[in-house]
Amino acid sequence: NAGVTQTPKFQVLKTGQSMTLQCAQDMNHEYMSWYRQDPGMGLRLIHYSVGAGITDQGEVPNGYNVSRSTTEDFPLRLLSAAPSQTSVYFCASRKQPGTSVYEQYFGPGTRLTVT
Amino acid sequence: AQTVTQSQPEMSVQEAETVTLSCTYDTSESDYYLFWYKQPPSRQMILVIRQEAYKQQNATENRFSVNFQKAAKSFSLKISDSQLGDAAMYFCAYRSSTSGTYKYIFGTGTRLKVLA
């Protein structure tokens, strides 16, 4: 298994440009999510999905869109990039829990710089 | 709303010594999960240890152990026999045990330096 993969690893955008961060997992996990990591802020949840066709907002959703057309993929779209979106972005996935705790698996991250 | 606080932005430890990283949280729930994640310079987030709140016994994983004080809402991580490879950012995280809950709440992290 490749686990959780993210592309690209690095990206530089100009203000106003749009782009899509890709995330894929091959573990048949129902839950997927996007976080952003900023210095001194820890990880903050942007959007998450509990299954194909179902998405919801996290703590900091503004400026981002997501969709989940398949179990494997969960792309994050920046509609009009702003310098405030300069951050490291992590995708994560895990199995739907019943009464057990399932580990959350993280991708390697994408470092995005908006100038 | 739940919150997670890591009050130590940076800690240092001598190689082979023991260090404790602090984490406090706030919640009105009685059942939940707590985690410690390690993030080395590679940026990869690695699960170090987890604790279910209903378990009174503190979790241990080799050189890593926790001191879980439910009444005090404290969840500290102890690293014994520190190694150079332990140098990283460490994040404490909380997740509700309510079925269907997905959201993890992360602390702001503690940077651990290991001195040779």
pLDDT tens digits, one per residue of A65-86:
999 999 999 999 999 999 999 9
Are the C-beta atoms of A32 and A48 separated by less than 8 Å?
Answer: yes
Name the minimum distance, in Å, from the CA of A17 to any CA of chain B: 26
| A99 or A50, higher pLDDT | A50
With a cut of 80, say whether residue A96 has pLDDT above it: no
Q: Taking a contact as any Cβ pair under 8 Å apart, which residues of chain B between 13 and 42 contact chain A?
A: 33, 42
Given this model, what pLDDT does residue A97 score?
61
Q: Is the CB of A48 less than 8 angstroms away from the CB of B106? A: no
Given this model, what pLDDT does residue B46 score?
92
Given this model, what pLDDT does residue B96 score?
84
The backbone torsions φ and ψ at residue A84, rounded to the nearest 5 degrees and listed phi first, read -65, -10
Measure the CA–CA gap between B103 and B94, rounded to whole angstroms. Answer: 8
Which tens digit of pLDDT belongs to each residue from A35-54? 999 988 889 999 999 899 99
Going by pLDDT thresholds of 50, 70 and 90, the confidence category of residue A1 is confident
Are the C-beta atoms of B35 and B83 separated by less than 8 Å?
Answer: no
Give the burial string for B54-69 (b: 16+ CB within 10 Å, else e): eeeeebeeeebbbebe
Name the minimum distance, in Å, from the CA of A54 to any CA of chain B: 13
Regions of chain B short of the pLDDT cut 50: none
| DSSP per position, A23-90 | EEESS--SEEEEEEEETTTEEEEEEEEEETTEEEE-SS-TTEEE--SSSSB--EEESS--GGG-EEEE
Given this model, what pLDDT does residue A99 score?
47
State the average pLDDT for chain A: 92
Given this model, what pLDDT does residue A40 score?
81
Number of C-beta neighbours around residue B114 at 10 A = 20
For B109, the closest chain A residue by CA position comes to: A42
The backbone torsions φ and ψ at residue A85, rounded to the nearest 5 degrees and listed phi first, read -95, 5
Given this model, what pLDDT does residue B37 score?
96
Q: Identify all chain A residues contacting B50, using CB atoms and an 8 Å cutoff.
A: 101, 103
